[in-house]
Structure 1
Amino acid sequence: MTLIRLLPILLVIGLSFLTSCQKEALPPADNERTLFMYLPWSTNLTSYFYQNIADMEEAIARRGLDRERVLVFLSTSATEAELFEITVNNETCTRRTVKEYTRPAFTTEAGLTDILNDMKWAAPAKSYSLIVGCHGMGWLPVEPQQARASTKFSYHWEYTHTPLTRFFGGLTAEYQTEITTLSRSLAQCGLQMEYILFDDCYMSSLEVAYDLRHVTRHLIACPTEIMAYGMPYARIGEYLLAENPDYGAICQAFHRFYSSYTYPYGTIAVTDCSRLDDLALLMKDLHSRHSLDSSQTASLQRMDGYSPVIFYDFGDYVRALCGDDAAQLAQVEALLEQVVPYKAHTEKFFTASLGPLSITHYSGITTSAPSLSSKARTYPQTSWYRATH
């Protein structure tokens, strides 16, 4: 799957991993939680990353840090990156460099594992949380440039004269990472996150969440495109840093910010990954009893501006799939409320290709199950498909 202020099977990140400095001995810390902001090379989002960091520092300066640590991995160019820690004293934040990188291999399992281990070594904690900022395309796999060049498909970040939105990783395959790579790297480091927040487009996807269910308790993400400004960390940072994150407050603060933003479009949801296996079993039973008539696809709630549509609202897909089977629909909807307990959206969501589109059905999470797009041709290979068919 990919990450991006894009992320499906794409997790976009980097090349070969060389470090320019050696590890120093750091004093041990009695640390409850380490929050790791991971901002790989994303071509045209660097200025927004600096704003994101500044906004998080505003929240830290206001809240303070007690037994929490905040580390940031930031790609400053296509070939250079740094790992630094944000500290605070008397409401003033400072940044302490932990490590510098040349050509970090963040698109490979080995390279990403090394970066995660650097974070874990520098700020060991009882629990961890991860923020991934970049472009994103949900679960979609990284597409080689040759294959990309043979199509006329335009990704949302390629549109000009329209407000910029995000993807997981960079804009070309060499800087994009598969979701499964992220999952394996976290597992190899022995990390289970309290939450993974994708500050990328299209990452609130069942296909993405299912691949990450064993390495994170919660997934915070957007089912649609998100404006390039990204998450309003100055407003939600205090909730992200809490020992017990207030997921409802995160969604409410996000909604308030984007309701009054220059471009008033925003969607967000929190997925409880511990319930995904239950949902997969229920959907397997549902698919054995019902099938979707292709004529129904056009009426489903679309969550993107692509043609054909790639991402549909999952709850609306279930409603159409169940048809007149009210009992099974009620069963799935009841479980879905537990799978996605917190969500919020503005009246419309933004697409780079079609502009603002209305939301009439919103479950907070998408699926590509009914998609006829050539970009979704590998959908039957996803773990979610195999678990539900």
Structure 2
Amino acid sequence: MMKKFLFYVISVLMLAACSDDTPGLTPAEKNERTILAYLAANNNLDGYIQQNVIWMYQGLARQKKQSTLVIYYKPSSSNPSIRQAEILVYKTDGYGNINNQPALADSLQNFRNIVAQADVHTAIAGVSTDAAVMEANLKEMQTIAPALSYGLLFGSHATGWLEGEPVHNSGISTFSIGVDGVYVINLPEFAQTMERSFSNSTLDYIAFDACMMGTTEVCYELRNATHYCLVSAMETPADGIPYHRLMDDLFSANVNWTSVCSNIISYNRSEGLWGTFAAVDCTKMEELAEAVKNQLTTHIEELNALDYTTIQQFGVTSSYASDFKYFSFDVAEVIKALNGGSLPQDFKQILDETVVAQDCIDTFNQWPYDIITDKDKFCGIGMYLPTLVNRSWNNYYRSSIAWYKAAGWDSVAASAGN
């Protein structure tokens, strides 16, 4: 009799443990989105990128769904917590536990402790900006954490579409996309690497925690690699993206890009920093290219007479930074200038469909990042003017950047005899 009674009690307890009325013991819903972070930190940003990882961890710990964050981290030689490139995996159960342990208390959330809590995988060795190494590691990260869709956080130095040069050269120092020691990767090769690394349109977005990526040239090159790009038209503060404020949105199947841009700019403003950010629908870039081409070829006379020094541009020139002035101009302001100061409605429509969210700070007044003083002159995305600006970049731009022909600059150049 006693055995039957004990069996009855145990059965009741087991049923209660499996009940939906006990949320603490019920598996949380699983996120469809996995976030990957590719952090090329073998440079002077390593300390800042470590803080970015802490913010990612904090945002992950607050998730109310089972969620996975996979980080590729290539450290500098001075990093005491990671000695070589590693893949760090973090999974939350949606109830405050990460990798089957309680999330670290606030006072313990430093980079060393967060690395120690990771499920660590040795990364494919090599230069993190080498296309083959990048592809191999991104594919390995997907093998470790299969998902229906991915968001990619890319953290490093960058200079957008500009051709990369070894960073130890004197004079202008351009990074293109990513820096590993003195090694970089250029935009066309980066885009091709992204296309090879993700199949079946699984890469929903790339969030660039990197400078000067908010251009038509970048987003057009990536049109077959990802749906959205989160980008800055300007150089970005070294602090980086405040991930602790964004992870809810970034894990969402339908990212609220307005909220993302607003949160980044709100953080920068609260810290006394500058900033621009925009979300671009890369699937609309061919339509935008056609719209720009129509405007340029229709207004060749006005374009040739345009005083580009009066147009809102996004490049910084300073005594301690390279000369990027005039590498990119606000797209809407250029088209307005060709149309007597007004933006044609059909062009505005496609621009609004392409740049789905944007925000900026126009009150920052400390040189050299005080170049935006009017929000109305920021549409979210810039482009170069290769037939007007005479810089050493032009040969590379004409020969290597797909936007050059897509937007009709080759036709403009031919009509001008250039």
TM class, shorter-length: 0.7 to 0.9
Identity value in percent:
25
Partner of 1:257: 267
Partner of 1:293: 304
Secondary structure of the residue aligned to 1:80 is coil
Partner of 1:362: 378
1:198 to 1:376, Cα distance in 2 relative to 1, 3 A: farther
Partner of 2:159: 137
Unaligned runs of at least 5 residues, structure 2: 1-29, 78-82, 97-102, 105-116, 318-322, 409-418
| Kept in 1: contact 2:154–2:209 (CA 8 A) | yes
| Kept in 2: contact 1:310–1:372 (CA 8 A) | no
Q: Could you tell me which amino acid in structure 1 is paired with residue 333 of structure 2?
A: D
Of residues 391, 394, 398 in structure 2, which corresponds to 1:380?
Answer: 398
Partner of 1:281: 290
Instruction: Say whether 1:51 aligns with 2:55.
Output: no
State the Cα distance separating 1:55 from its structure 2 match: 0.6
State the Cα distance separating 1:105 from its structure 2 match: 3.2
Partner of 1:41: 41
Q: Larger radius of gyration, structure 1 or 2?
A: 2
State the Cα distance separating 1:35 from its structure 2 match: 0.8
Alignment map for 1:297-336 (pairs within 5 Å): 297-306=308-317, 308-323=325-340, 329-336=344-351
Q: Distance in 2 between matches of 1:64 and 1:175?
A: 40
1:55 to 1:138, Cα distance in 2 relative to 1, 3 A: same
> Relative CO higher for 1 or 2, CA cutoff 8 Å, sep ≥ 6?
1
Partner of 1:75: 74
1:355 to 1:212, Cα distance in 2 relative to 1, 3 A: closer
Of residues 347, 360, 383 in structure 2, which corresponds to 1:345?
Answer: 360
| Kept in 1: contact 2:177–2:186 (CA 8 A) | no
1:348 to 1:225, Cα distance in 2 relative to 1, 3 A: farther
Partner of 2:196: 188
Q: Could you tell me which amino acid in structure 2 is paired with residue 183 of structure 1?
A: A
Deviations 1:302-331 (A, max 9, x none): 11223542121111112123347x5x7222
Q: Distance in 2 between matches of 1:31 and 1:259?
A: 31
| Kept in 2: contact 1:116–1:189 (CA 8 A) | yes
Partner of 1:217: 227
State the Cα distance separating 1:123 from its structure 2 match: 0.7
Deviations 1:230-263 (A, max 9, x none): 10111111111112211111112112211211x3
Partner of 2:132: 110
Q: Distance in 2 between matches of 1:141 and 1:107?
A: 14
Q: Could you tell me which amino acid in structure 2 is paired with residue 281 of structure 1?
A: E
Instruction: Say whether 1:206 aligns with 2:216.
Output: yes
| Kept in 1: contact 2:131–2:185 (CA 8 A) | no
Q: Distance in 2 between matches of 1:284 and 1:112?
A: 34
1:311 to 1:106, Cα distance in 2 relative to 1, 3 A: same
State the Cα distance separating 1:202 from its structure 2 match: 0.5
State the Cα distance separating 1:294 from its structure 2 match: 5.0
State the Cα distance separating 1:348 from its structure 2 match: 4.0
Instruction: Say whether 1:175 aligns with 2:188.
Output: no
1:38 to 1:145, Cα distance in 2 relative to 1, 3 A: closer
Q: Could you tell me which amino acid in structure 2 is paired with residue 304 of structure 1?
A: G
| Kept in 2: contact 1:311–1:371 (CA 8 A) | no
State the Cα distance separating 1:31 from its structure 2 match: 6.6
| Kept in 2: contact 1:183–1:211 (CA 8 A) | yes
Deviations 1:83-131 (A, max 9, x none): 01112355216311022454x2333322221111111111111111111
State the Cα distance separating 1:228 from its structure 2 match: 0.3
Secondary structure of the residue aligned to 2:159 is coil
Q: Distance in 1 between matches of 2:344 and 2:50?
A: 45
| Kept in 2: contact 1:168–1:176 (CA 8 A) | yes
Q: Distance in 1 between matches of 2:133 and 2:31?
A: 25
| Kept in 2: contact 1:34–1:127 (CA 8 A) | yes
Q: Could you tell me which amino acid in structure 1 is paired with residue 68 of structure 2?
A: R
Secondary structure of the residue aligned to 1:301 is coil
| Kept in 1: contact 2:41–2:180 (CA 8 A) | no
State the Cα distance separating 1:77 from its structure 2 match: 2.5
Higher strand share: 1
**CA RMSD of superposed structures (Å):** 2.5
Q: Could you tell me which amino acid in structure 1 is paired with residue 191 of structure 2?
A: S
TM-score by length of 1: 0.80
